[in-house]
Amino acid sequence: MASGWTAAAKNLPLGKDPAHVRRRIEAMEHLLERSLTIPGTRFPIGLDVVLDLVPGIGTTVAAVMGAYMAWEARNLGMSKTQIARMAGNVGFDWMLGMIPWVGAIPDLFFRSNSRNLKIIKKHLDKHHPATATIDQR
């Protein structure tokens, strides 16, 4: 029996067109920032915060996963300025996470992957309006 994430990963499109890229980056952002809930609360966290609890290695793994979104942005033809801003978000998040144990706390509030998704969505909505989706909360 496949887990929910395995099944979701199998359903992600592999194409290079903007609509497929949008679905992949939205899935990555969800995994890294909102895939779990702190028990007893309604506060969403993701793999990014959980990985920050593993000093050094976990933070770096989360940063590499976040950098994937910037790589996809490059493939969309986004500007170097936008990609540099995204890299800055990932780098700042990585630096915060390098503080052993305490680094997970600021990561609850500085969600670099959500910020980067917003940058990519703004680009897609402007240059590829057919990929726009309605967010359901």
89-98, pLDDT tens digit by residue? 999 999 988 8
Above 60 in pLDDT, residue 6?
no
Determine contact, residues 124/132, Cβ cutoff 8 Å.
yes
Above 70 in pLDDT, residue 45?
yes
- pLDDT band with cut points at 50, 70 and 90 for residue 5: low
- 3 state SS of 36: strand
Q: Which residues, 6+ apart, have CB-to-CB distance to 121 below 8 Å?
A: 22
96-106, pLDDT tens digit by residue? 888 877 888 88
Closest CA to 116 of 57, 60, 76, 61: 76
pLDDT computed for residue 2 by the predictor: 47
Percent of the chain with pLDDT strictly greater than 90: 57
12-36, pLDDT tens digit by residue? 778 888 989 999 999 999 999 999 9
Provide the 8-state DSSP code for 35: S
Above 90 in pLDDT, residue 86?
yes
pTM: 0.85
Encode burial over 100-129: b for 16+ CB neighbours within 10 A, e otherwise: eeebbebbeeebbbbbbbebbbebbeeeee
